[in-house]
Amino acid sequence: MFSLSRKILEFTAASSLILLAATTIPAAADEMVQSLGPVGPQQPIIATVGDKRVIAFFAPSNGRCNVQAVVWKTDDLDAKSASGIKVSLGPDQTTSIDASGTETIGLKCGAGADTLSSLTSRQFASN
């Protein structure tokens, strides 16, 4: 009886892992997973904005969000177009990264400088 229960638990755990992997893997190899936040320290915000990809994270320091971001063109598989950005934001402050002529991603430091969120062009304009 015990071995049957254990096998059921093992099967359930394995099935859960497979289901989790299947729902988090992009549909195509060149498709990037999106993670728009809010995120905690050293956790990434990952976004595709226009023809650019953005990865950003922050480290809290003295009540501020020290943000670092890397931006590159989506069709640049070697990331030779990559450029880095560093900015220190106070609580509730935002900065923007222009991805194309019409699209921008905003990054906002949380009220307690404990989170970082992304804002779409529309959210950023109204903020």
31 within a domain of the structure (yes/no): no
Average pLDDT over residues 53-59: 91
Q: Report the distance separating Cα 35 and Cα 16, nearest Å.
A: 21
pTM of the complete model: 0.69
Taking residue 86's Cβ as centre, other Cβ atoms within 10 Å add up to 8
The Cα–Cα gap between 31 and 47 comes to: 11
Report whether pLDDT(43) > 80: yes
Mean pLDDT of all residues in the chain? 78
| Token code pair at residue 45 | 């915000």
pLDDT at 15 over 50: no
pLDDT digits (tens, 9 = 90+) for 67-123: 999 888 888 888 888 888 899 999 999 999 887 677 888 999 999 999 999 986 555
Would 113 be classed as within a structural domain? yes
Q: What is the pLDDT at residue 28?
A: 53
Q: How many separate domains does the chain show?
A: 1
In-domain check, residue 14: no
Tell me whether residue 4 is in a domain: no
Say how far apart CA 68 and CA 85 lie, in whole Å: 6
| Residue 54 lies in domain | 45-126
